[in-house]
Structure 1
């Protein structure tokens, strides 16, 4: 459902952009691109606030944000350069992963990156590991057991996770820059510097752990790395092909993938008046992936927002970000006393367990 929802919206955005480009090419004075009708471009007459439905602050933010945007050709050239560097260096470090594996990864990565950024925008939760696990099975089965499919799948997973997680992180940074009237180019340069520092700092930290603990990653040790065992097990399943998956696993994947597309199609067909009663597949799929606690938090927050808007819509629009930030911060701070209580051996007055 996560992948189906993301790809549907990716194709929707691409098709609308192509239609807009085609219309502008046919008629130079034709309707502007969809983004221009929503966001006023620099050096144009300001849009009437009452007619556009956008406040003066939002129009000013948009104007400054688009004035200093990153050129498309620079983004494409940078992506090609990173892909070529990965194709040249990674096979030297991990011979099991071939250059054509990396070529396929970087070809399919942009739609996946869009899907992850879209899902992160809806739920504030990056699902990079979801796309990484998918790649484990595909590349692992492609390479095969005889050609080091386990290592190839795990390295491919790391490549895909880095690409899609960077997309969601950069989108969040750009949203922050939009709100704070910061330059997109400044944010991008800062992210490049931070990424370059991470390329040096992260291996050094890992090397310190690797040298300090001889039993790193072994069960029963001080640092057993259980998630690493989980990913290795998935890679071992992947090299055997999809036949090693549980019964009807792929059928369920196909069914829910199609269901996400059908639900999105229904939302687009019925219009804004009725689409608000149809659930968003991405948000509906999240609780199945990370647990019900996230869905409960979102439900309570949405209920508070709904009641607040009924009471005073103007104040709700102005103060919702601050209230939401306070709730998120409070929940995070509570993890410390919760850990102390658990460490002290205290138990809840009751516990609900469901067995199937």
Structure 2
């Protein structure tokens, strides 16, 4: 499903250890299910699966929306989706079986359908852009910068047009990649680590041993969920106004707190840290130290020289401009490298496979008996994968029809975009969707957000500032991201379906159903937060950093370097090149220094760039999550492997879902009774003196 994706999707990579475990055991999988009948594709999409998917989609939309609106770091929630789907339906079917009303047993195919729906729905919460490119159009975000704040470049948010836009653009990508499913899954045998790991998880749930483990995992998830929810409820009592409560605890002193270095007691990001790879969390901390510990204090010392001392705190011509544009530059450098790298790798792989005479032949290096089982597994999976096909004519016709609808409808929503802009986007999108889906199969990296950022620059500069280029660029980002992201997600699901004997037709319709759920739920959930909190306020609870960052990219597209403050251009170029250079160093070490594996300790430029704007508080939370996981693995590696994802998911779910009753209380004007605030000794003395005097 959705990955570390801002959900930058790279941050949400699946567990490669789990995928490797699947590869080790896969020759025995289908043999274990030899006597289990595979239901027809219509019986795989059941009413209980749809209801469960809708319930979990609502929960996961709240979680992803909150993560989007705070730091934008979203871990892979595939494990939680598969586990919770299994737990809910298994509990229901067990209850019905005890009273004699069970008509259809719970199968791994039905579990796969639930996981696919939830992944697709919560994926819209990311690619839908409510916390990034759509929010970047709003008057609040536009007012934070000095450039581009004109009527043509601002659009007031409305749940109606946001929902309409998502429904118009989100389904096109599903049809763009369907004709290539057999080539990618059967001929090229692409790995799709997330899809493979998810299939391994679901297959294991439906064996007796796996069901027992899943029951224990659910118990761990429930306990951590209750703790996280109650702890968030406890913290709420001390947050009467902004700047109060445990979230403003100066853990390392007031000076460090002013530089955004503190632990804010967020169970969400402790849980996220337990799921994300160690180097993701370390990269975030390194980025925070470089920016808020070194660079910003140095630049602020030039106040009145490099930039005016009379600017508002949020002005992009002041210190905020350095934070935003340098972060953008590093992200674009990292993104451009990976796009070019993936294109080259895709071309090389295609050439190698086409020239290889035996690319489709599998010769297991195992005993004859094991080889027969492996051949049985592969034969059964291939037979099932080819059984319920989606005709290519239907796929291509669907793409054309939906593209035409989008070409007509989108200009009515965004008059800054003309029909020919959308036509160009849909003409090149299938190629980018193929590259993204193929690269994702090789590396598990989805680069949808990077393609979206490139679309912002291209279309915003094409339209121009005076004709609403900022809105045009941000809207085109949504068009491009929707196609590229859903295409790779669908191919991941095809791989999961292939390995769980789920029908390709049920996978496709599950993805369609989940996408429809996401298009409906995502704007509703966002609107709930938008009305309850000051979304997009850099100093508020929900700063929504990517709203300003994406708008900054569009501003670069329409205004060029003239929008940058003094000496910012040199820093932007330097960090753009640094983003490319760090990746080149990592790739060089990966190729030529394999004995010590030093490349594993090279930080990620994309992750380093996020704290440039936000600070290091959430990086400290995530590093504490990594520390908990590390100590747990030292004590008992197997238990940590089995239960850490469940504990982390519970921490994320509990803390995130507390935001629902908290938002309801805010809408009802029910405020917390206490403000817990921390002052220096000198300030406290002045306050005491003032109170005594009054």
User: Is the TM-score greater than 0.5?
Assistant: yes
- Equivalent pair of 2:534/2:540 in contact (CA under 8 Å): yes
1:86 and 2:406 are equivalent in the alignment: yes
- Equivalent pair of 1:83/1:106 in contact (CA under 8 Å): yes
Highest relative contact order (Cα 8 Å, sep 6+), 1 or 2?
2
How far the C-alpha of 1:266 sits from its partner, in A, is 6.9
Paired with 1:335 and 1:207, the residues of 2 have a C-alpha distance of 18
Q: After alignment, is 189-198 or 113-122 more displaced?
A: 113-122
- Equivalent pair of 1:209/1:216 in contact (CA under 8 Å): no
How far the C-alpha of 1:117 sits from its partner, in A, is 5.2
Match of 2:554 among 235, 240, 245: 235
Residue number in structure 1 paired with 2:125 = none
1:177-221 Cα offsets, whole Å, 9 max, x none, are 234221222201221233345445656x389869x9599868699
Paired with 1:282 and 1:105, the residues of 2 have a C-alpha distance of 35
Paired with 2:438 and 2:675, the residues of 1 have a C-alpha distance of 41
C-alpha distance 277-93 of structure 1, shift in aligned 2 (>3 A):
same
1:283-329 Cα offsets, whole Å, 9 max, x none, are 8345325675389849967x959x97xxxxxxxxxxx8x96563222
- Equivalent pair of 1:6/1:119 in contact (CA under 8 Å): no
Paired with 2:439 and 2:601, the residues of 1 have a C-alpha distance of 10
Paired with 1:31 and 1:299, the residues of 2 have a C-alpha distance of 49
> Between Structure 1 and Structure 2, whose CA radius of gyration is higher?
2
Match of 1:31 among 357, 362, 371: 357
SS at match of 2:604: helix
1:332 and 2:654 are equivalent in the alignment: no
Normalized per residue, which structure has more helix? 1
Match of 1:146 among 440, 446, 466: 466
C-alpha distance 276-70 of structure 1, shift in aligned 2 (>3 A):
farther
1:287 and 2:607 are equivalent in the alignment: yes
How far the C-alpha of 1:240 sits from its partner, in A, is 0.8
SS at match of 1:37: coil
- Equivalent pair of 2:381/2:498 in contact (CA under 8 Å): yes
Paired with 1:76 and 1:282, the residues of 2 have a C-alpha distance of 42
C-alpha distance 124-113 of structure 1, shift in aligned 2 (>3 A):
same
- Equivalent pair of 1:287/1:295 in contact (CA under 8 Å): no
How far the C-alpha of 1:155 sits from its partner, in A, is 0.6
1:221-246 Cα offsets, whole Å, 9 max, x none, are 99987754554454334321255353
C-alpha distance 296-214 of structure 1, shift in aligned 2 (>3 A):
closer
Paired with 1:323 and 1:181, the residues of 2 have a C-alpha distance of 29
1:162 and 2:449 are equivalent in the alignment: no
C-alpha distance 148-259 of structure 1, shift in aligned 2 (>3 A):
same
How far the C-alpha of 1:170 sits from its partner, in A, is 2.0
1:242-272 Cα offsets, whole Å, 9 max, x none, are 553532324543554366467547756x5xx
Paired with 1:10 and 1:146, the residues of 2 have a C-alpha distance of 35
Paired with 1:66 and 1:207, the residues of 2 have a C-alpha distance of 37
Which structure 1 residue ranges, 5 or more long, are not aligned?
24-29, 39-46, 309-319, 348-356
Residue number in structure 1 paired with 2:340 = 7
C-alpha distance 327-221 of structure 1, shift in aligned 2 (>3 A):
closer
C-alpha distance 7-83 of structure 1, shift in aligned 2 (>3 A):
farther
Residue number in structure 2 paired with 1:67 = 386
- Equivalent pair of 1:140/1:238 in contact (CA under 8 Å): yes
Paired with 1:275 and 1:51, the residues of 2 have a C-alpha distance of 31
Alignment of 1:301-316 (within 5 A): none
C-alpha distance 147-221 of structure 1, shift in aligned 2 (>3 A):
same
Paired with 2:482 and 2:602, the residues of 1 have a C-alpha distance of 21
C-alpha distance 174-295 of structure 1, shift in aligned 2 (>3 A):
farther
TM-score (norm 2): 0.36
Cα RMSD (Å) of the superposition? Answer: 5.3
Report how many residues are paired: 312
